[in-house]
């Protein structure tokens, strides 16, 4: 059996591409310097893959920014405004990715969106009625040739025609269907050219096939591929799907004149069933994604071999592959020096997954797969009890019953009690939690880490920041105050570090978008709270003011969604363990006199399954209860807030109401407040604070502008349910714009209040 990967990370083991690109953006190195660094990374990856014994080695999985944007450039689907800048191609490309402001003009970047259910973001191609799609770029050819010259015949990887057309945004009257003919032609031309260069296989990535598909989607997919494949000549074509199963299009997919089909056996929960029920064409190669491309744990060979054995009954030619591109895992374990071997042996990043594929190849080739050393070692690893087990936590989670998820009394009664207790004015003003993280704040945290600052001095520093922050908010005239979150680097990392059960890597970066990478914590063991995490800061802040001080926490779903989750227990179990820890903190805050507690669920929507049919069972049915459990034990007069960053929650609005918070603040200003109609239509019960200005920009909103926003919001939201706040935390902002912005916000709220808008 041969082996394949769907793609490999391109940032380099120590984020070399990020640093080189940023230097290029700052004008510190030339385009050819940047090219040279990129080539070094590519050739290194190639040799690594080759040496590992990998059979299908990808090329063109490299990108300076994003593969979808690359495809737009390949197909000539680039909005005029970027070409009109008259810049060299690489700079035109970066202008589309990041915007351009300079002597040649001033254009904003193309939009960016989350890549399916990952934390990677792609650039959304823009197509208007004048767009002429045709094969325009040369990158797949150049990279194929570069690899061939270095001695490797690769499998070029290109975003497929269907996924490309589905992800594009159409600015004019034309739709995807209107571009099908030309797009198919461009892909046919691409195949001929790759064939002429010597390519034997080409991989088209079609993750959009795992989404819910309507008849017209299936028709578009068929139309595209019938035309593309009619001209494929000698090149063999693999359609690679990932992030789920292809239940809506399996039969159409297998009926096409394809040579290979890549299916996901990790996230594709119906993949085995589909094959069993419908068979798999004898003439085609099945690229079986059995090694998880998204998580960092060692592959369980027993499971993987089991799947492959079963598949042998249906498919004659099987290639062992990853479930998706390895783009979504860190590059290599080599640079982790702090975590001990007893931990590291459980991890497999991209480089180590290459080793796993090679071992799986050896195991499956053996007459006695289960007798191989590799198999036995892997089995021993997986049967080993990991450290970090906490039976008390497990027992507590197991003992939860329905009533634990219900806060009493019901919302309306609490609302009355709280209105009396807090006696806040109409349209109370507040912020989302963090205040500007100035260089001074970051330096203090760093000082504590390196030991330059003693714990005592650090503590004094944070207290001083809190004092200043409280004084500032009083001066501004806000109604509900915050302590400013100066002690936190990141809203998830902070809690991860305080809780037992999390691990942190040193260099395990994963590309989030462009040159931005994240380093998610690892859920290693059972989660528990050893001691209070935030109480001392909140209590100190409350002692400085007569106004209510919000306690600030991150919710269990967000903590889990922004970490590498365990695979040996369910997500639901992990979420409930984290919920227990956060609940203990909530109760401690309450006991210490904190009357309002905000539990942020910024990432609640992020892991919503791609298919509607899976939403409830696979996600909402445990994610919403996990949040409810966090606050179900508080007294009626304690007010629970939550905050969310994505306003795309129209379709789960009932579930959000059902989180049963007392107040929710959310980002709304960038989405033109469209969410308000949805709130009104659904008779949203929770009090709301739709962000009245965008904190992602350094611009200061005027008082009138904010008042207009409040007036607009008031058309949909009853006055007694409305809060006034910015749309997110102020951490990334400077003090210079924050203070006047908040002053305008308070002034606008006061006027709106007096005029009874
Ligand atoms: N409380 C957090 C802050 O203010 C919320 C951040 C977020 O929503 N991403 O920074
Ligand atoms: Zn936010």
Give the CATH number for residue 213. 3.20.20.210
- pLDDT of res. 647: 65
Identify whether residues 509 and 651 lie together within a single domain.
Answer: yes
What is the number of the ligand 1 atom nearest to the C-alpha of 554?
1
| Ligand index nearest the alpha carbon of residue 495 | 1
- What confidence category does residue 695 fall into, taking pLDDT thresholds of 50, 70 and 90? confident
Same domain flag for 431 and 561: yes
CA–centroid distance, 644 to ligand 1, in Å, is: 8
Least confident span in 13-22, 99-108, 366-375, 410-419 = 99-108
More confident residue, 114 or 436: 436
Nearest CA to ligand 1 atom 5: 729
449-467 exposure pattern, b = at least 16 Cβ within 10 A, e = fewer: eeeebeeeebbebbbebbe
Centre of ligand 2 from the C-alpha of residue 513, in Å: 18
Atom 1 of ligand 1, nearest CA residue: 433
The protein residue whose alpha carbon is closest to atom 8 in ligand 1 is: 602
Q: Is 699 helix (H, G, I), strand (E, B) or coil?
A: coil
User: In a 10 Å sphere around its CB, with 0-12 CB exposed, 13-18 middle and 19+ buried, how is residue 252 labelled?
Assistant: middle
Closest atom of ligand 1 to CA, residue 602: 8
Q: Is residue 111's pLDDT more than 80?
A: yes
Q: What is the mean pLDDT of residues 30-44?
A: 98
- Look at residue 447 and give its three-state secondary structure: helix
Per-residue pLDDT at 671: 65
Among residues 328, 346, 641, 696, the one annotated as catalytic is 696
pLDDT of 161-175, one tens digit each?
999 999 999 999 999
Q: C-alpha dihedral over 274, 191, 290, 563, to 10 degrees?
A: -110
The tally of domains found in the chain comes to 2
**d(CA 234, ligand 2 centre) in Å:** 51
Establish if 75 belongs to a structural domain: yes
Structural domain contains residue 442: no
Q: Report whether 160 contacts 202 (CB < 8 A).
A: no
Question: What's the Rg (C-alpha) of the chain?
Answer: 27
> Can you name the residues that pair with 644 across neighbouring β-strands?
666
H or E segment to which residue 18 belongs: helix 16-25
Q: Is 48 helix (H, G, I), strand (E, B) or coil?
A: helix
Distance of alpha carbon 36 from the chain centroid? 30
Q: What is the pLDDT of residue 589?
A: 98
310, 426: one domain: no
Is 483 labeled as catalytic in the residue annotation? no
> So what's the pLDDT on residue 650?
86
**What's the 592 CA to ligand 2 centre distance in angstroms?**
26
End-to-end CA distance of the chain: 71
Ligand 1 center to 388 CA (angstroms): 29
Q: Is residue 279 part of a domain?
A: yes
Closest approach atom of ligand 1 to CA 728: 8
Q: Is the pLDDT of residue 543 over 70?
A: yes
Domain assignment present for residue 465? The answer is no
pLDDT, tens digit, 9 for 90 and up, residues 454-466: 999 999 999 999 9
Can you tell me which atom of ligand 1 is nearest the CA of 552? Answer: 1
Asked if residue 358 has pLDDT above 80, the reply is: yes
Report DSSP state, residue 443: H
User: Which mutation among 433, 541, 696 tests ligand 1's pocket best, with the greatest number of atoms within 8 A of CB?
Assistant: 433
Residue 471 lies in a domain: no
* Token reading at 72: 């737009």
Cβ atoms of 329 and 12 within 8 Å: the answer is no
Ligand at minimal distance from the CA of 598 is 1
Which residues hold their Cβ within 5 A of ligand 2, which is an ion? Answer: 602, 645, 728
Ligand 1: residue whose CA is nearest its atom 10: 729
**Domain shared by 39 and 116, yes or no:** yes
Does residue 418 share a domain with residue 350? no
CA of 358 to the centre of ligand 1 (A): 43
What spacing in Å lies between the alpha carbon of 552 and ligand 1's midpoint? 9
345 & 420 share domain: no
Instruction: Give the position, in ligand 1's atom list, of the atom nearest the Cα of 667.
Output: 8
Atom of ligand 1 nearest to the CA of 644: 8
Do 152 and 251 share a structural domain?
yes
Average pLDDT over residues 236-246: 98
The pLDDT confidence band at residue 404, using thresholds 50, 70 and 90, is very high
Is 472 a domain residue? no
Using most ligand atoms within 8 A of CB, pick from 643, 669, 725 the residue to mutate for ligand 1.
643
223 and 114, same domain (yes or no): yes
Residue of 550, 597, 600 with the most ligand 1 atoms within 8 Å of its CB, for mutation: 600
Whole-angstrom Cα distance, residue 112 to residue 693? 20
Quick one: pLDDT at residue 190? 98
pLDDT at 390: 96
Please state the atom number of ligand 1 nearest to the C-alpha of residue 645: 8
Taking only the tens place, the pLDDT of each residue in 624-637 is: 999 999 999 999 99
Q: Stretch 665-688: mean pLDDT, rounded? A: 87
The pLDDT of 630-653, averaged and rounded, is 92
Ligand 2 centroid distance, CA of 606 (Å): 13
Q: Please check whether residue 723 is in contact with residue 428, taking contact to mean a CB–CB distance below 8 angstroms.
A: yes
From 518, 550, 728, 732, mutation site for ligand 1 pocket: most ligand atoms within 8 A of C-beta: 728
Higher pLDDT, 668 or 49: 49
Give the C-alpha distances (Å, rounded to integers) separating 249 from 187, 213, 218, 240, 271: 21, 8, 7, 13, 12
With cut-offs at 50, 70 and 90, classify the pLDDT of residue 385.
Answer: confident
pLDDT digits (tens, 9 = 90+) for 514-541: 999 999 999 999 999 999 999 999 999 9
Q: Is residue 59 part of a domain?
A: yes
Pocket residue to mutate for ligand 1, from 434, 436, 641, most atoms within 8 A of Cβ: 434
Q: Which of 581, 493, 528 is nearest to 389 (CA)?
A: 528
Ligand having the closest approach to the CA of 645: 2
Is residue 110 very low, low, confident or very high in pLDDT (cuts 50, 70, 90)?
A: very high
Nearest CA to ligand 1 atom 9: 602
Residues with CB under 6 A from ligand 1: 432-434, 485, 491, 552, 600, 602, 643, 645, 728-729, 731
Task: Pick the residue whose CA is nearest to atom 4 on ligand 1.
Answer: 729
The verdict on 96 and 188 lying in the same domain is: yes
- Residue 600 Cα to ligand 1 midpoint, Å, equals 7
Ligand nearest to the CA of 731: 1
Which ligand is closest to the CA of 670, given by its number?
A: 2
- Rounded to an integer, the average pLDDT of 295-320 is 98
pLDDT at 741 over 90: yes
pLDDT higher than threshold 90 for residue 668: no
pLDDT given for residue 675 in this prediction: 84
Mean pLDDT of the chain: 96
pLDDT at residue 724 in the model: 98
User: Which residue blocks in 451-523 are alpha helix, DSSP H?
Assistant: 455-476, 493-498
For residue 317, report the distance from its CA to the centre of ligand 1, in Å: 50
- pLDDT at position 608 is 93
582 and 666 together in one domain: yes
pLDDT above 90 covers a percentage of the chain that reads: 93
Residues 544 and 653 both lie in one domain: yes
Tell me, what's the pLDDT at 649? 82
Residue 207: pLDDT over 70: yes
The atom of ligand 1 lying closest to the CA of 431 is 4
Query: Which atom from ligand 1 is nearest to the alpha carbon of 643?
Result: 8
Residues 348 and 423 in one domain: no
- The whole domain housing 77 covers 2-383
Measured in Å, residue 694 CA sits from the centre of ligand 2 at 10
What is the reported pLDDT for 662? 98
Residue 444: inside a domain: no
Ligand closest in space to the Cα of 601? 1
Calculate helix-pair angle for 271-278, 301-311, nearest 10 degrees.
20
Mean pLDDT of 16-20: 97
Question: Cβ-count burial of 519 within 10 angstroms (0-12 exposed, 13-18 middle, 19+ buried)?
Answer: middle
pLDDT at 670 over 80: no
CA-proximal residue: ligand 1, atom 6 (nearest)? 729
């Amino acid at each position: 059996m041969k082996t394949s990967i769907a793609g490999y990370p391109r940032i380099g083991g120590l984020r070399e591409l990020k640093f080189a690109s940023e230097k290029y953006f700052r004008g510190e190195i030339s385009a050819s310097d940047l090219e040279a660094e990129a080539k070094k990374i590519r050739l290194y990856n190639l040799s690594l893959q080759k040496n590992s014994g990998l059979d299908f080695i990808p090329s063109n999985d490299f990108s300076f920014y994003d593969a979808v944007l690359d495809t737009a450039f390949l197909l000539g689907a680039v909005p005029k405004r970027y070409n009109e800048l008259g810049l060299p191609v690489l700079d035109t490309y970066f202008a589309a990715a990041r915007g351009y402001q300079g002597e040649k003009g001033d254009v904003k970047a193309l939009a960016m969106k989350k890549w399916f259910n990952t934390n990677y973001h792609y650039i959304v191609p823009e197509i208007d009625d004048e767009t002429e799609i045709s094969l325009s770029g040369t990158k797949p050819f150049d990279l194929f040739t570069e690899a061939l010259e270095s001695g490797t015949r690769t499998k070029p990887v290109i975003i497929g025609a269907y996924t490309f057309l589905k992800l594009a945004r159409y600015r004019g009257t034309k739709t995807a269907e209107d571009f099908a003919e030309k797009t198919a032609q461009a892909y046919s031309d691409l195949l001929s050219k790759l064939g002429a260069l010597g390519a034997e296989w080409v991989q088209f990535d079609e993750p959009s096939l795992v989404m819910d598909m309507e008849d017209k989607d299936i028709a578009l997919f068929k139309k595209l591929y019938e035309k593309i494949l009619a001209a494929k000549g000698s090149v063999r074509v693999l359609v690679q799907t990932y992030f789920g199963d292809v239940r809506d299009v399996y039969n159409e997919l297998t009926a096409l004149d394809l040579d290979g089909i890549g299916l996901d056996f990790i996230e594709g929960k119906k993949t085995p069933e589909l094959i069993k029920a419908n068979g798999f064409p004898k003439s085609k190669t099945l690229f079986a994604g059995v090694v998880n491309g998204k998580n960092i744990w060692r592959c369980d060979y027993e499971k993987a071999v089991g799947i492959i054995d079963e598949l042998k009954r249906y498919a004659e030619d099987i290639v062992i592959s990853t479930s998706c591109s390895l783009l979504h895992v860190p590059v290599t374990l080599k640079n982790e020096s702090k975590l001990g071997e007893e931990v590291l042996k459980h991890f497999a990043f991209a480089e180590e997954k290459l080793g796993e594929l090679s071992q799986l190849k050896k195991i499956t080739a053996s007459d006695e797969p289960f007798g191989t050393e590799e198999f036995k070692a892997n089995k021993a690893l997986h049967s080993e009890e990991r450290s970090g087990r906490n039976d008390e936590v497990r027992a507590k989670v197991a003992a939860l019953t329905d009533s634990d998820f219900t806060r009493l009394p019901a919302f309306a009664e609490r609302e009355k009690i709280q209105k009396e207790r807090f006696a806040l004015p109409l349209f109370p003003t507040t912020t989302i939690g963090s205040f500007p993280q100035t260089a001074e704040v970051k330096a203090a945290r760093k000082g504590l880490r390196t030991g330059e600052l003693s714990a005592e001095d650090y503590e004094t520093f944070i207290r001083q920041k809190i004092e200043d922050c409280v004084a500032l908010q009083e001066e501004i005239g806000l109604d509900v105050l915050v302590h400013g979150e100066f002690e936190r680097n990141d809203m998830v990392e902070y809690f991860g570090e305080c809780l037992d059960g999390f691990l942190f890597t040193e260099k395990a970066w994963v590309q989030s978008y462009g040159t931005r990478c994240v380093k998610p914590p690892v859920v290693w063991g059972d989660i528990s709270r050893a001691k209070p995490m935030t109480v001392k800061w909140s209590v100190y802040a409350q002692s400085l003011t007569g106004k209510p001080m919000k306690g600030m926490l991150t919710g269990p779903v967000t903590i889990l969604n922004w970490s590498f989750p365990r695979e040996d227990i369910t997500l639901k179990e992990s979420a409930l363990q984290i919920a227990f820890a956060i609940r203990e903190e909530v109760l401690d805050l309450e006991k210490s006199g904190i009357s309002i507690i905000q539990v942020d669920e910024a990432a609640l929507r992020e892991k919503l399954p791609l298919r509607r049919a899976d939403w409830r069972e696979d996600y909402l049915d445990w994610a919403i209860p996990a949040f409810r459990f966090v606050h179900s034990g508080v007294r009626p007069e304690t007010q629970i807030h939550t905050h969310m960053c994505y306003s795309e929650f129209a379709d789960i609005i009932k579930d959000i109401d059902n989180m049963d918070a007392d107040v929710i603040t959310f980002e709304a200003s960038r989405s033109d407040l469209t969410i308000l109609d949805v709130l009104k239509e659904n008779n949203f019960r929770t009090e709301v604070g739709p962000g009245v200005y965008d904190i992602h920009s350094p611009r200061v909103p005027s008082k009138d502008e904010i008042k207009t926003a409040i007036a607009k919001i008031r058309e949909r939201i009853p006055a007694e349910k409305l809060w006034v706040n910015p749309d997110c935390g102020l951490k990334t902002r400077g003090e210079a714009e924050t203070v006047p912005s908040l002053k305008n916000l308070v002034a606008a709220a006061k006027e709106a209040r007096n005029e009874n808008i």
